[in-house]
Amino acid sequence: MNNEKNDQSSNSDTNANRDPISGAPGAHPIGTGVGATAGGVLAGAAAGTVVGPVGTVVGAAVGAIVGGLTGSGVAEVLDPTSEAAYWRDNYKDRPYAAGATTFDDYGPAYGYGVSSYPKYPGRSFDDVEGDLARDWDGARGTSKLQWDQARNATRDAWERIGNR
């Protein structure tokens, strides 16, 4: 009986740190997801701060998405720091941004494209554009762009992630 109790205790300890869905050993998925998301928010916000207040908000949002996706194929593709830097350096070369004097309006549109991509796995921009248009006002932060102006920047960021 004592051996049976020890066997159960040992078995219980072995299973205590297993994914309840797959049974794989490792940290509890909720703790891992929360930690990854929090880390992603902090990393994204820190990276965004380099480009100004809008960058902080966009970086935090993208960082949260990327952090929450740690371990998936999409997370390996998304790096909020490099995405923000890429678009800051290249937005003026885009035809829709001709005459733009600041990144502050386009930054949230790029961030929206990056953060929205993993929410709609396997779907094209055209398939989800209606949803994105509907939700733009809640995602735009301080951007002055209406959806018809932000659409192309959002598509550019979406496609840049999708083409990887």
State both tokens at 103. Answer: 């990144």
**Domain extent at residue 41:** 30-162
Kindly tell me the number of DSSP H helices and DSSP E strands found in the chain.
8, 0
Q: Is residue 25 part of a domain?
A: no
CA–CA distance, 117 with 23 (Å, rounded to integer): 29
Q: Is residue 8 part of a domain?
A: no
Q: Is residue 66 part of a domain?
A: yes
Q: Is residue 19 part of a domain?
A: no
Q: Is residue 23 part of a domain?
A: no
Q: What is the pLDDT of residue 73?
A: 52
Q: What is the pLDDT of residue 57?
A: 58
Q: Is residue 40 part of a domain?
A: yes
How many distinct structural domains can be found in the chain?
1
Q: At CA 133, angle to CA 79 and CA 98, rounded to 5? A: 70
The three-state secondary structure class of 148 is helix
CA–CA distance, 9 with 2 (Å, rounded to integer): 11
Q: 161: Cβ–Cβ under 8 A, 6 or more apart, which residues? A: 74, 77, 78, 83, 113, 114, 117
The tens place of each residue's pLDDT in the chain, 164 residues long, gives 555 444 444 444 444 454 444 455 544 343 444 444 444 544 454 445 455 666 555 655 565 555 544 444 555 557 878 898 999 999 999 999 988 878 998 999 999 999 999 999 999 999 999 999 999 999 999 999 999 999 999 999 999 999 88
Nearest to 142 by CA among 116, 94, 106, 115: 106
Distances from the Cα of 6 to the Cα of 25, 40, 148, angstroms: 21, 41, 66
Q: What is the pLDDT of residue 76?
A: 54
Q: Is residue 110 part of a domain?
A: yes
